[in-house]
Amino acid sequence: MSHEPFVIDVRDVTKTFGGRAVVDRIALQVGRGEIYGFLGPNGSGKTTFLRVLCGLLTPDSGDGQCLGYDIRTQAAQIKQHVGYMTQRFSFYEDLTVAENLDFVARIYGVPSRREAVERSLEGLGLAARRRQLAGTLSGGWKQRLALAACLIHGPRLLLLDEPTAGVDPKARREFWETIHRLAVDGLTVLVTTHYMDEAERCHRLAYIANGSLLARGTVAEVVGAVALVTWEVAGPDLPGLATRLRGRPGVEQVVVFGNALHVSGRDAARLEAALEPWRRGAWRWERVATGLEDVFITLMETPPESR
């Protein structure tokens, strides 16, 4: 990541629908070549914030720049330099892969269109499928076509809204390898995801809930800021143990992780006191490093007034 001026630099961005602040005073700075992840529950404001950044929505208040353009007054210029991959990317199922890319290139007025389509087919590994009808592609190949279409006009910023939902693990891994290769070449990427392994592939993260930005930074910074203590317990009747532990003072969450439970809280002393009655039984207890998933479950379950 370079030390050039920020690709995105916004302050106090707010967007209201029906009297409710869907995006509430969010500030964000993103550098060139950075992969920035957005996490949060459904309806938290992630997609709305992305649409404000790329010029599809005008904020009710707040200001700043995206790609050097004013987000309030220069939306048209921003859109020319952004690739936006929505959750439901639309393409023509009865056109071939190459025909779909040619159509998108026409829309953007891409110069030397034929060469641009060829570069896109080669760059995204689609050349062998150029004559295949888009409607017959598997989920992973449709995703690759969607990414190629978003990149064909040479954007400087790529917005990805849950881009790997519904594709298999191999396709997800290949997709992320492509994203990192593009970032090395200077493309800036904002991505929303529900997958913790994908979140950990981002250079930095932001967690949004109820329109507010609750945590941001590297994975280590986000985990450290929540300051959660986590114990892992294995043994008999874990569902029964989970029921008895939930709601005890100091126990903020109890979550099943494979053949064990993760029991977490922010007050180490209160948490240990709560666990004491079960520490000498048939269960095996070990204090473990708090993971990103532990942190985000805690953030999701913490009432707004307690944050």
Work out the average pLDDT over 138-151.
92
Residue pair 206/28 in contact (Cβ under 8 Å)? The answer is: yes
Stretch 132-146: mean pLDDT: 92
Q: Are 108 and 152 in contact (CB under 8 A)?
A: yes
pLDDT score recorded for residue 165: 81
The predicted pLDDT at position 281 comes to: 82
Nearest to 209 by CA among 49, 29, 14, 39: 39
pLDDT at 233 over 70: yes
pLDDT at 61 over 90: yes
Say what angle helices 139-151 and 97-108 make with each other, to 10 degrees.
30
Average pLDDT, the chain: 92
Nearest to 252 by CA among 284, 219, 220, 229: 229
**Looking at the predicted structure, is the pLDDT value of residue 307 above 90?**
no
SS3 297: helix
Contact of 163 with 255, CB cutoff 8 Å: no
Residue 140: is its pLDDT beyond 70? Answer: yes
Show the domains of the chain with their CATH numbers: 8-222 (3.40.50.300), 229-289 (3.30.70.260)
Reply yes or no on whether the pLDDT at 153 is more than 80.
yes
Which SS3 state, helix, strand or coil, does residue 171 take? helix
pLDDT computed for residue 91 by the predictor: 85
Encode pLDDT of 66-117 as tens digits.
Answer: 999 999 999 999 999 999 998 776 789 999 999 999 999 999 999 999 999 9
Band of the pLDDT at 303, cuts 50, 70, 90?
Answer: low
Q: What is the pTM of this model?
A: 0.89
Measured CA to CA, the distance from residue 2 to residue 58 in angstroms comes to 29
Strand ranges, E, within the chain: 8-17, 20-30, 35-39, 61-66, 69-70, 82-85, 157-161, 188-192, 204-209, 212-217, 229-234, 253-257, 260-265, 284-288
Q: Name the one residue in this structure whose structure tokens are 């095996």.
A: 284
Q: What is the pLDDT of residues 27-59, one digit of tens each?
A: 999 999 999 999 988 888 999 998 999 889 999
What does the pLDDT read at residue 151?
Answer: 96
Amino acid 238 reads: L
Tell me whether residue 55 is exposed, middle or buried, using C-beta atoms within 10 angstroms of its C-beta: 0 to 12, 13 to 18, 19 or more: buried
At 1, the pLDDT band (50, 70, 90 cuts) reads very low
